[in-house]
Structure 1
Amino acid sequence: MDNNSQGTSPDAARLTAQLAADDPTTRHPKVSPPEQDQPEPGLDVKTEPVPDIGLESYVGLGRLRGRKALVTGGDSGIGAAVAIAFAREGADVAIAYLPAEEEDARRVVTAIEEAGRTAVALPGDLMDRDYRAGVVDAAAAELGGLDILVNNAGKQVINETLEELSDEQIDETFQINIKSMFTLSRAALRHMGPGSTIVNTTSVQAYEPNPMILDYAATKAAINNFTKGLAQQVASRGIRVNAVAPGPVWTVLQVSEGQPKGKLPVFGHNTPLGRAGQPVEMAPAYVFLASGESSYISGDTLNANGGTPTP
């Protein structure tokens, strides 16, 4: 008697098991983090639970073989996951990050090098004019070129009311989140030719702003607009510009003044998928937009938010 006549074939059983493993509601754990606090900017390695940046869970397929990328905020969270994914897809990667995040950055550099790729560490502060002006050229010099820029560095600090939100914080949030994109993208374009890509990190906050992070949400809406405008400007040069809009993702940003401490245990539970995302789940979106597989996509925002409806 053949397997089909017995009900379920081994191949069908394996497919059923694989589909169950890919269930988006359970593929990654539903975290209920304890209340915790770290001074800004914080460290992934001291976050409970430690966010999954793909050290054990991301497998590359060579989609970015030979490419050269700079990822800002590449030491932790989404930026770290993207840097590791890019390396495992065959790219050499430079990461920009704050000097205070060196412990996290070392993990990422090690993972890039273990993937057999060149890793370049570029510590500095995007609030520093000289650093902003030179970080892209430094990455290109160390990597021997540059054809991918991921503008990912971000600042998010909660304020209960507008009266509590200082002009100093607004200036810092706008400088890091959106104004630096102008500086870094301008510098990157000097190195980029046809087939190059820029990918910006925006957020679901661009569409559904949390009233406690007015400055952050406003920058994310601006990033969407910047992405669409720049994409049109450089399209004739064969350069594409897109954005990824994550929803609630479990990163150190949430515990270093990014969320009220009392809400951490239920962070992300209100999404349709019922849980917060992990940084490694964001990485494939960036890989796709940076690769030739998305060659007819530019000026778009890819939403990776656990099923929340967006425009």
Structure 2
Amino acid sequence: MSKDIPAQEQDHQPGTEAEMEPKPEFMPVYAGSGRLKDKVAVITGGDSGIGRAAAVLFAREGANVAILYKDEHGDADTTIDMIDAEGGEGMKIALDIGDKQAVEAAIQQVIDRFGRINILVNNAAEQHVQDNVEDISEDQLLRTFKTNIFGQFFAVQAVLGQMEQGDSIINITSVTAFRGQDQLVDYSSTKGAILAFTRALSSKLAERGIRVNAVAPGPIWTPLIPASFPADKVESFGQNVPLGRPGQPNEVAPCILFLACQDSSYITGQTLHPNGGELIGG
């Protein structure tokens, strides 16, 4: 991808991929090899960005995929079409991921249709730029935590009862969990919580043979970026990392696939870092 992104912004969270220019790159780069044959995956925030790229890659590798999303119906329809084109069976459910009852109902719909869930990718998130910590309202704080970490808890609680040995949970955290972001204090806090959640949950579920890992992307060109930052900031997005450019969703999806399939059968409680070369601990 070129470093050049035209100035742009969107006025709604978590943003719409169809409105972005240039369009994010989500198609898999390599032919599938059946690594998820006969598996069923649930991906939250699966309509666009990293979630879409993972959904299409999973379908190419043989999985049926249910995407949970907020209200970006056009993006969701496009993702389902791409899942179908890759030979998978797609399913979409619109909901508020921070609503426990809605999450439970959605997971049950997936089980009713496909009979099981083998892979959960907790990807849905929102973020809101604030220059001053004092300006983060109680409503914003609650909303960000409900979407970013409560939603992950709710999804895990809903799927665990029918997950079996060999199944996998992948939580999407962020580089901000490790080095912070002073305009995204509440968002960074949720991503740190996700990191701790991943480590604690991996220990708890190890005896069941269910692996729990995380992916911590750096600056990735997704709808959340123009939906969060002013246009002039979007124009220079991602240029401060060693590789000098933002990453693409299809550069993150292979990390998620690796953690979802048996290639990573001896890995749990760990975090992968597709972040353009930023050196961080953990």
Distance in 2 between residues matched to 1:121 and 1:141, nearest whole Å: 14
Give % identity: 42
Residue 107 of structure 1 and its aligned partner are, at CA, apart by: 0.8
* Alpha-carbon distance in 1 for matches of 2:105, 2:252: 28
Does the CA contact (< 8 Å) of 1:93 and 1:143 recur in 2? no
- Among 26, 38, 54, the alignment partner of 1:82 is 54
Candidates 260, 272, 297, aligned match of 2:267: 297
SS at match of 1:150: strand
C-alpha RMSD of the superposition: 1.3
User: Residue 41 of structure 1: CA displacement?
Assistant: 2.9
After superposition, the Cα gap between the structure-2 partners of 1:58 and 1:212, relative to the gap in structure 1 and judged at 3 Å, is farther
Equivalent in the alignment of 1:19:
none
1:158 to 109, 129, 151: 129
Which of 238, 241, 244 lines up with 1:271 in the alignment? 241
Q: 1:263 to 1:271 in 2, by over 3 A?
A: same
| Structure with greater proportional helix content | 1
How far, CA to CA, are the matches of 1:202 and 1:31 in structure 2?
26
- Pick one of 65, 85, 90 that aligns with 1:93: 65
Conserved? CA contact 1:158–1:260, under 8 Å: no
Is 1:112 aligned to residue 83 of structure 2?
yes
Task: Determine if contact 1:58/1:280 at 8 Å carries over to the other structure.
Answer: no
2:141 paired residue number: 170
Deviations 1:156-195 (A, max 9, x none): 1101111211010110110110112111101111110000
TM-score by length of 2: 0.96
2:66–2:90: 8 Å Cα contact kept in structure 1? yes
Amino acid at match of 1:90: G
Q: Distance in 1 between matches of 2:250 and 2:31?
A: 10
Q: Is the Cα–Cα contact under 8 Å of residues 202 and 224 in structure 1 kept in the other structure?
A: yes
Q: 1:186 aligns with which of 157, 173, 190?
A: 157
> 1:228 — aligned with what?
199
Structure 1: state its 5+ residue gaps: 1-27
Contact 1:44 1:251 in 2 (8 A): yes
Structure 2 match to 1:21: none
Distance in structure 1 (CA, Å) of the matches to 2:179 and 2:109: 37
5 Å-filtered alignment, 1:21-36, equals 28-36=1-9
State yes or no: 1:66 paired with 2:42.
Answer: no
Which structure 2 residue ranges, 5 or more long, are not aligned?
Answer: none
Alpha-carbon distance in structure 1 between the residues aligned to 2:261 and 2:246: 26
What SS does the corresponding residue of 1:254 show, helix, strand or coil?
Answer: coil
Matched AA of 1:237: R
Q: Which has the larger radius of gyration?
A: 1
